[in-house]
């Protein structure tokens, strides 16, 4: 098991907040979000809500309350710019809803309805039952649409707020259908309720009144909403545009153009050109795609920066693969330094075209393998007065309670295996 | 290689497509190029190539979408993910959609040709980076949707093979290190790939019932 990335990155002092997680939602994502917050299996939370719902509808009210209050999780806030851009342009796989995903919803709904009907039959409160069911279904549909619209607003790259789109999103027919059906269900619930208590004419009047109420609300709030949103939208769009321009310009100016200039100057020297291109690629890649936010205190980042340095100095590409990513503590410092020494040795002496570094971090210890396919040497034949390998790698690891093992044969390359156990008794 | 494999190149950067085409030269036959998901689906269905070189980030829903949409009508076509993106979720996602391997765009021409041959023959292609991602995914560091932890866990042997690949060993070196045949290494890689790809609950159920686990 390795250390979870997200926990290492988050600020430990900030209070944990609960979110709804619409990505795992069956209805509004409340249960999934709550389960994540409480550290419980989602199923338990869902069953709990259903049990509460059967007991006089408290679960439904509780769910609805949380749906209103909890903010929806924005999980692409801390994304690297390249990934965020790819997402906005639809180049990354999005959330895909298949028909089979609806299975649990249908099953849950059927069970809940059955239990509720049974409850109504047993207690004999038939009059109020159907209107309430319709009302809940209608409101759930409308809120669901509000969620979808909100999601699309986040993903919207134009940065403008459009009133129609802020309500229906770009979901097309499904959005309108959801809105219409939701509204219809609410009106039907009201009508049914009044029908149960009075005669048909009264019910019709109430239904008409409900519809008129909807339309009137639209007329009253609509223009105000429109003006507010267009002001907001313009301001936001302008701010986003200027920030983006500044970011991109600064970065391109600083690094890419410089490198291009250098490449033009040393166009006669293929090795230099390749090295410059690699260094620039590494830089851009980490800027665009590294979602660890360029935090230099993690183990993987430390190894990558070693790789970068060695590549710059010796012109040998170093490929780093890291599994698990703890932050660099005092305990890990020796293994990072020993890794550096091993990589430098490989780059300097082996003559190999590339060096592979593989690191695996587990709670019990960290292992690093540095491998090249270069000249190799006979470890037993290294002269006593040569300090590089013995002092800086083997001895260093041993002093700190770790170990180093060097496997090499002339002509077959070298592999250095470093391991550092992590325990409380180690200093 | 005895026969030339047929290839379709899918990438939204025209310059990169041209570069790959030039690098592959005469070793493979490039049937078509495509720049987004729709074009790619059309090209794959029309040409039915041996191998599709597929960019992970692609306009129209990403590389995985191409695989999903062509899967039913072009079952024999193999996909090799080729990307500059280092986002583990995206790479693993493409593999889970059905790609047989993943290599980075900095791969040399000969290595790429070799990888195409391997994928065409039905084997998996794991670069050290992908092996690292896989180990991370099964350790739970990367979030992969709907992995059933009990069924999808790697065996100790598979983990060893993955670790050696991640350390930069070739298949041959892995076999020598573990005292097993290259064929066995390939079998392990295949089963790791399969475990990654059991995506939906249905497939998981089918997989389990075939082995009488249910």
Chain centre to alpha carbon of residue A213: 41
Distance (Å, whole) CA A49 – CA A63: 7
Distance (Å, whole) CA A228 – CA A235: 11
B64 half-sphere exposure, CB direction, 13 A CA radius: 19
Question: Which of the two residues, A427 and B176, has the higher pLDDT score?
Answer: B176
Q: Which among A2, A83, A324 is the nearest to B87, CB-wise?
A: A83
Model pLDDT for residues A51-90, shown as the tens digit of each residue: 887 776 788 888 888 887 777 765 545 566 667 666 666 6
With beta carbons under 8 A apart, name residues in chain B contacting A91: 12, 57-60, 62
| pLDDT for res B80 | 92
Token output for A146: 């509000």
Q: Could you tell me if A327 and A299 are in contact, meaning their C-beta atoms sit under 8 angstroms apart?
A: yes
Model pLDDT for residues A337-353, shown as the tens digit of each residue: 888 888 888 888 888 88
Which residue of B38, B60, B132, B174 to mutate against A (max A Cβ within 10 Å)? B132
Q: Provide the β-strand partners of residue B28.
A: B5
Q: Could you tell me if B189 and B124 are in contact, meaning their C-beta atoms sit under 8 angstroms apart?
A: yes
Question: Which of the two residues, A292 and A262, has the higher pLDDT score?
Answer: A262
Length of chain A, in residues: 427
Residue with tokens 């995506």: B199
With beta carbons under 8 A apart, name residues in chain B contacting A289: 84-87
Q: Which among A92, A323, A325 is the nearest to B62, CB-wise?
A: A92
Which residues in chain B land under pLDDT 70? 1-2, 85-86, 140-152, 198-214
* Nearest Cα to Cα of residue B170 among B127, B135, B129: B127
Which residue of A301, A323, A353 to mutate against B (max B Cβ within 10 Å)? A323
| pLDDT for res B96 | 81
| pLDDT for res B8 | 92
pLDDT class of A164 with cuts at 50, 70, 90 = low
Instruction: Kindly report which listed range (A10-14, A225-229, A297-301, B92-96) carries the lowest average pLDDT score.
Output: A10-14
Q: Is residue A400 less than 8 Å (CB to CB) from chain B?
A: no
State the smallest CA–CA distance between residue A390 and chain B in angstroms. Answer: 23
Q: Could you tell me if A389 and A368 are in contact, meaning their C-beta atoms sit under 8 angstroms apart?
A: no
With beta carbons under 8 A apart, name residues in chain A contacting B98: none
Q: Could you tell me if B146 and A371 are in contact, meaning their C-beta atoms sit under 8 angstroms apart?
A: no
pTM: 0.60
- Which secondary structure element, helix H or strand E, spans residue B147, and what is its range? none
User: Please, what is the Cα angle at A18 between A12 and A23, to 5 degrees?
Assistant: 115
User: Pairing relation of β-strands A414-421 and A403-408?
Assistant: antiparallel
- Which secondary structure element, helix H or strand E, spans residue A306, and what is its range? helix A299-314
């Amino acid at each position: 098991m390795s250390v979870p990335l997200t926990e290492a990155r988050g600020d430990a002092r900030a209070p944990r907040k609960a979110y709804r997680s619409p990505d795992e939602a069956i209805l509004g994502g409340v249960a999934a979000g709550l389960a994540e917050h409480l550290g419980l299996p989602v199923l338990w939370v869902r069953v709990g809500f259903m049990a509460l719902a059967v007991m006089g509808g408290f679960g439904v009210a509780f769910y609805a309350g949380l749906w209103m209050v909890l903010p929806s999780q924005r999980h692409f806030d801390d994304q690297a710019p390249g990934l965020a851009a790819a997402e906005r342009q639809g180049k990354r796989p999005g959330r895909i809803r298949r028909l089979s995903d609806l299975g649990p919803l249908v099953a849950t709904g059927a069970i809940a309805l059955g239990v509720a009907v049974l409850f109504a039959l047993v207690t004999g409160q038939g009059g109020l039952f159907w209107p309430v069911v319709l009302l809940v279904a209608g409101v759930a549909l409308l809120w669901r649409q509000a969620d979808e619209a909100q999601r699309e607003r986040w993903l919207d790259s134009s940065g403008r707020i459009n009133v129609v789109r802020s309500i229906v999103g770009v979901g097309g027919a499904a959005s309108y259908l959801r809105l219409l059906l939701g509204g219809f269900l609410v009106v039907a619930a009201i009508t049914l309720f009044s029908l149960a208590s009075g005669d048909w004419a009264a019910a019709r009047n109430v239904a008409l009144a409900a519809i008129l109420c909807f339309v009137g609300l639209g007329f009253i709030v609509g223009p105000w909403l429109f003006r507010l949103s267009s002001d907001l939208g313009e301001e936001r769009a302008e701010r986003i545009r200027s920030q983006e321009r500044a970011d991109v310009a600064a970065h391109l100016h600083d690094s890419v153009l410089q490198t291009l200039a250098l490449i033009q100057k040393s166009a006669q020297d293929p090795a230099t050109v390749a090295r410059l291109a690699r260094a620039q690629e590494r830089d851009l890649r980490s800027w665009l795609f590294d979602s660890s936010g360029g935090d230099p205190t993690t183990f993987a980042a430390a190894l990558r920066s070693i790789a970068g340095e060695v590549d710059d100095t010796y012109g040998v590409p170093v490929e780093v693969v890291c599994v698990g990513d703890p932050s660099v503590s005092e305990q890990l410092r020796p293994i990072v330094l020993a890794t550096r020494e091993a990589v430098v040795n490989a780059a300097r002496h082996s003559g190999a075209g590339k060096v592979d570094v593989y690191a695996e971090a587990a709670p019990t210890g960290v292992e690093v393998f540095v491998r090249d396919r270069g000249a190799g040497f006979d470890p037993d034949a290294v002269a006593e007065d040569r300090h590089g390998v013995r002092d800086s790698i083997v001895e260093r690891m041993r002093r700190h309670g770790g170990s180093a093992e060097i496997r090499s044969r002339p002509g077959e390359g070298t592999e250095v295996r470093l391991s550092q156990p992590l325990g409380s008794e180690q200093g | 290689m005895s026969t030339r494999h047929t290839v379709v190149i899918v990438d939204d950067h025209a310059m990169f497509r041209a570069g790959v085409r030039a690098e592959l030269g005469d070793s493979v036959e490039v049937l078509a190029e495509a720049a987004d998901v729709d074009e790619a689906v059309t090209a794959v269905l029309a040409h039915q190539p041996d191998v599709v070189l597929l960019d992970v980030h692609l306009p129209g829903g990403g590389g995985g979408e191409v695989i999903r949409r062509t899967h039913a009508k072009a079952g024999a076509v193999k996909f090799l993910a080729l990307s500059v993106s280092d986002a583990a979720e995206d790479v693993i996602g493409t593999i889970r959609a059905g790609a047989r391997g993943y290599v980075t765009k900095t791969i040399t021409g000969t290595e790429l040709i070799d990888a195409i041959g391997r994928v065409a023959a039905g084997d998996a292609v794991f670069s050290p980076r992908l092996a690292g991602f896989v180990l991370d995914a099964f350790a739970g560091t990367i979030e992969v949707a709907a992995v059933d932890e009990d069924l999808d866990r790697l065996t100790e042997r598979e983990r060893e093979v993955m670790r050696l690949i991640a350390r930069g060993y070739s298949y041959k070196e892995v076999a020598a290190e573990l005292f097993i045949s290259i064929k066995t290494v390939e079998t392990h890689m295949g089963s790791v790939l399969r475990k990654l790809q059991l995506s939906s609950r249905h497939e998981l159920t089918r997989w389990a019932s075939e082995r009488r686990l249910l």
